[in-house]
Amino acid sequence: MASPDSSVAPLPAARPDGGALVNDFSIQIATANGSGSQSSNTVLLRAIFQMGVPVSGKNLFPSNIAGLPTWYTIRASRDGWTARKKEVDLLVAMNPETAREDVLGLRAGAAVVYDAPLALAELRGDLVYYPVAFDALVEPLTKEPKLRRLLRNMAYVGVLARLLAIDLGEVEHAVEKQFPGKPKARDLNVAAARAGFEHAATLEKRDPLVVRRMDRTAGKILVDGNAAAAMGALFAGVTVVAWYPITPSSSLVETLIGHLRRYRIGPDGKATFAVVQAEDELSAVGMAIGAGWAGARAMTATAGPGVSLMSEFAGLAYYAEIPAVIFDVQRVGPSTGLPTRTAQGDILSTAFLSHGDTRHVLLLPGSVEECFTMGVDAFDLAERLQTPVFVMTDLDLGMNVWMSDPFPYPARPLDRGKVLSKEDLDRLDGFARYADVDGDGIGWRTLPGTPHPKAAYFTRGTGHDEKSAYSEDPRTFERNLARLEKKLDGARDLLPAPVREGSGEAKVGLLAYGSSDPALREAREQLRREAGLESDYLRVRAYPFSREVRAFVEAHERVYVVEQNRDGQLAALLKLDLPPALVPRLRPVPHLDGLPLDARTVSEAIRAEEAR
Amino acid sequence: MATPPTPAAPRTNRLGLTVVEYKGGKSTLCAGCGHNAISERILEAMYEMGVPPERVAKLSGIGCSSKSPAYFMSRSHAFNALHGRMPSVATGAVLANRQLLALGVSGDGDTASIGIGQFVHLMRRNLPMLYVVENNGVYGLTKGQFSATADLGSKLKTGVQNDLPPIDLCTLAIQLGATFVGRSFSGDKRQLSAMLKAAIAHRGTAMLDVVSPCVTFNDHEGSTKSYAYMKEHDVPLHELHFVPAFEDLAVEYDPGTTVDVTMHDGSHLRLRKLEEGYDPRDRGRAMARLVEAQAGGDVLTGVLFVDAKAPSLVDLMNLVEAPLATLPTEAVRPPRAVLDALMDALR
């Protein structure tokens, strides 16, 4: 199996900073799945972060528990770029199965730290090699063969610390953070890192890569999007969680369960939440919808295959107007194949999920911070709009570690939407569930259990009148559909507005969403610097689209819509939304290889288009 | 001058409600449909038990049976959900508000075919709810196809014979760990009423499989779910007597001939044995007896199994007493200090 991706562009000839390449490179660590390298890689990432250098980490892992190849990429960027970098500057080759191809895929001048028995130096003469006998390094640390295998990984962290001038103290601090309350594991890992560090003193440094202290990470946090979304749900006051395990969303719910157990069980042992691991996604969303109907803040989390199974329920909730929050951590396609690779492949199918004239609210977080804030907002919006709200993250955002500002405590109180109490009913002497009394298309609802003889209504799907009585009357049905459309149209003004960057004067517009954001921002810089191409950038954050989206397309001659799917799914939604005259301005830029988007892919595609 | 006679005050239950206040809309099912009789028994049982209609959540899937919640208890919220998916909706609703009395009405197609997955998991979770299957062995709304509970050898009106074995929902439920399993017949008013009341008092899933003949598609010669077949093959295991907690236990009973089950709320279910040796607290024996009866073409009715002590899902989750749905913000949104601590841990 080849190394996932590498470019053969040569290293820049002129190096700023007197020959050294400071705080601007990427490291790729190739190991086997299940070998415990994840801890080591996190420690390495964190140590660089603690030195004030912006970092990002991408885990490229197989759908497997142990044995298959895994690559972890750490990017250090003094400019703060956090998108994946295509080019590998330093390879740590620990996996015999992929070592050969990993090395052959590197560009000239790259450095390779490798397990000495792999004898990789014979493969190519244009690389910098650092062979290390890892077995010999960890042999004195423990007698247990199993532990030794794990410690080999921490030893490469020590080797890299020496080679890259990472403060060993920061490595030790990061180890401590990695193994809280486990002094034995901590000590062994520190010893392994030290052994690597000491050994590397014997290596002659022949590459230009250096980490030097900066102050660009002060106050920042490191977190993955699933953990961020879990915290969002926690601070949204979620009360009912139903889920079915599926990669890459499982860690979202598992993290949330940990928080709920810690923060939402009273001194009397009583829980203010219910979590059910359902038998499938059909049931998971059914529970969320049943709970939403009965007034709970209810959610589920899933990925594409789960969303497909939720289709019929999503339609029912749309027509019956029931709030629920569905986190979709997107990944590549159905069944087996690339379940552990990232994509933005569910946008179109989720927007119209189910049969009939359904249309759903999608939130499109573009950072871990937005996984949190939109994780909170989704519950308010679902209850305000009385409809399912889908939070569309993806594997890259959800499972990789990102640097972020700390999350803000929610400023607004919970918005529980339009719910009539017993007292309201006393005053009103009854109500009609689906009457548009406020002119915004949103009716007032009552919750089951409301102790009032006129509280009840009969919830059903598409065919109902304003009082929720069964009806097949054509006029009634049309009226209801028109009201639902009005409600969804009004949602445009309630949903997170797009984020604009640029002067607004450029002829070229870039439009993207979700985890593409870091690559887009970097690509704009590349276009400006390398091609003199100015661009404006609009990051869309929700569907139905804000009215600003149309204004953006109107203001630009060409709008490149960058997406992590083949067919331009968001572009398709835009085409439905925009006046036909504006549609030809849209130019899809697809990225579909399952790897996180990088800036180079975007800037090159746009340069090629602009040159036509 | 003669004083006009004062009209007798209408009968009321312990809440002061008349039975009219438990009525629903007019049934649109066929005249003579067993489901209509079951709707009547349900509303009577709720009335007699003094359940506030506003506390009840009626839930159903899709099918003739699933329409029937519209025909009783209009003062209760209702949710006509998806085909076969009512158990999940009920689970969510009960977890959101544990004070609701969830009443699910399903059919044999809705439960034993499309909904078998959700049914199976509902049984093992022991969600507190009353789950009634109106079982007629046939799909009514789609005009007369066999369902998965149709007996081997039973015939459609067209003469087509069923050659696949039936799913016996009671045997299945007992095997899965259900805690209250009963079978009755829509035509047996006394038995069904007592069983419904006991099921209402049960804390856990009470699954009642009620044979409810379809007069249009499955009430002919050769059907095993017809009125005529049930009259000949209904084998009641016991005489059911239910004494609610709010009534005095006046009558003594003979432990030799009667099983007394104390329900969670203090009410009593008394089963005067008609069949020697049948004990509805013995899971293994109950299953064995059901299999045996089925082989002989008999329909065993009565409370087939009951475990009044098993914890329900709500008990296992140790939920607060108040409905989760309406907890105040301070109970569900942790304070700023919690977010600060979480952020610190990520630095």
- Give this complex's ipTM: 0.97
In B, which residues are within 8 Å of A456 by CB distance? 53-54, 74-78
Q: Which of B52, B81, B319 sits opposite A270 (nearest CB)?
A: B319
Q: Looking at domain A21-217, what is its CATH homologous superfamily?
A: Pyruvate-ferredoxin oxidoreductase, PFOR, domain III (3.40.920.10)
- To the nearest whole Å, the CA of B254 is away from the closest chain A CA by 41
Q: What is the mean pLDDT of chain A?
A: 95
pLDDT exceeds cutoff 90 at B253:
no
Check residue A2 and give its pLDDT: 40
For residues A254 and A248, the answer to whether their CB atoms sit within 8 Å is no
Predicted local distance difference test score (pLDDT) of residue A34: 82
Q: Which residues of A touch B74 (CB under 8 A)?
A: 456
CB atoms under 10 Å from CB of B4, counted, come to 6
Query: What is the band of A5 on the pLDDT scale with cuts at 50, 70, 90?
Result: very low
CB contact under 8 A, B333 and A242: no
Of the candidates B92, B326, B334, which has its C-beta nearest A298's C-beta? B92
Most B CBs within 10 A among A235, A287, A383, A405, hence the mutation to make, goes to A287
Contact state of A272 with B320 under an 8 Å Cβ cutoff: yes
Q: Are B239 and B274 in contact (CB under 8 A)?
A: yes
CB A401 within 8 A of CB A223: yes
DSSP alpha helix (H) spans, B189-305:
189-201, 227-233, 283-295
DSSP state of B323: -
pLDDT in tens, A422-435: 999 999 999 999 99
Whether residue A337 has pLDDT greater than 80: no
Name the packing angle between helices A145-164 and A168-178 (round to 10°): 140
Q: Give chain B positions within 8 Å (CB) of A237.
A: 327, 329, 332-333
Nearest CA in chain B to A464: B80
pLDDT at residue A205, as a whole number:
96
**CA B106 – CA B135 distance, rounded (Å):** 8
Question: B121 and A461 in contact by Cβ < 8 A?
Answer: no
Report how far residue B70's alpha carbon sits from residue B43's, in angstroms, rounded to the nearest whole number.
12
pLDDT averaged over every residue in chain B: 95
Residue A1 has pLDDT above 50, yes or no: no
Q: How high is the pLDDT of residue B252?
A: 80
**Res A9 pLDDT > 70:** no
The answer, for A274 touching chain B at a CB cutoff of 8 Å, is yes
A455 touches chain B (CB under 8 A): yes
Is the bond preceding residue B328 a cis peptide, omega within 30 degrees? no
B93/B171 Cα distance (integer angstroms): 27
State which residue of chain B sits closest to A222, comparing Cα positions.
B346
Q: Which of A55, A222, A226, A235 to mutate to test the interface with B (most CBs of B within 10 A)?
A: A235
Same fold, A21-217 and A223-404: no
d(CA A264, CA B42): 38
A13 has pLDDT over 50:
no
DSSP A405: P
Average pLDDT over residues B331-340: 98
Measure A85 CA to nearest chain B CA, in Å: 24
Q: What does the domain layout of chain A look like in residue ranges? A: 21-217, 223-404, 422-491, 499-611
Q: How many CB pairs under 8 A join A and B?
A: 218
Instruction: Give per-residue pLDDT as tens, B263-274.
Output: 999 999 999 999
Residue A394 has pLDDT above 90, yes or no: yes
Of A274, A280, A316, the CB nearest to B117: A280
| Nearest residue of chain B to residue A450 (CA atoms) | B54
- Candidate from A263, A264, A447 with C-beta closest to B325: A447
Instruction: Identify the pLDDT of residue B2.
Output: 62
Supply the CATH classification number for the domain A223-404.
3.40.50.970
Q: What distance in Å separates the CA atoms of residue B53 and residue B46, rounded to the nearest whole number?
A: 8
| CB atoms A458 and B343 under 8 Å | no
**Per-residue pLDDT at B297 exceeds 80:** yes
A471 touches chain B (CB under 8 A): no
Average pLDDT over residues A323-352: 94
If you classify domain A499-611 with CATH, what class do you get? alpha beta
pLDDT tier at B244, thresholds 50, 70, 90: very high
> What pLDDT does residue B8 have?
82
Report residue B256's pLDDT band, with 50, 70 and 90 as the boundaries: confident
Binning pLDDT at 50, 70 and 90, where does residue B251 land? confident
A49 pLDDT more than 90: yes
Identify the band that residue A318 occupies on the pLDDT scale cut at 50, 70 and 90. very high
Domain B19-330 fold: Rossmann fold (3.40.50)
| Residue of A257, A279, A379, A414 to mutate for B, most B C-beta atoms under 10 A | A279
Q: Would you state the structure tokens that stand for residue B290, as one six-digit string?
A: 């059901």
> Which residues are paired to A392 by β-bridges?
A328
Closest CA to A67 of A32, A109, A31: A32
pLDDT digits (tens, 9 = 90+) for B99-151: 999 999 999 999 999 999 999 999 999 999 999 999 999 999 999 999 999 99
Taking an 8 Å cut-off on Cβ atoms, the answer to whether A240 and B118 are in contact is no
Residue ranges of domains in chain B:
19-330
End-to-end CA distance of chain B: 94
**8 Å CB contact of B331 and A282:** no
Contact A293 B89 (CB under 8 A): yes
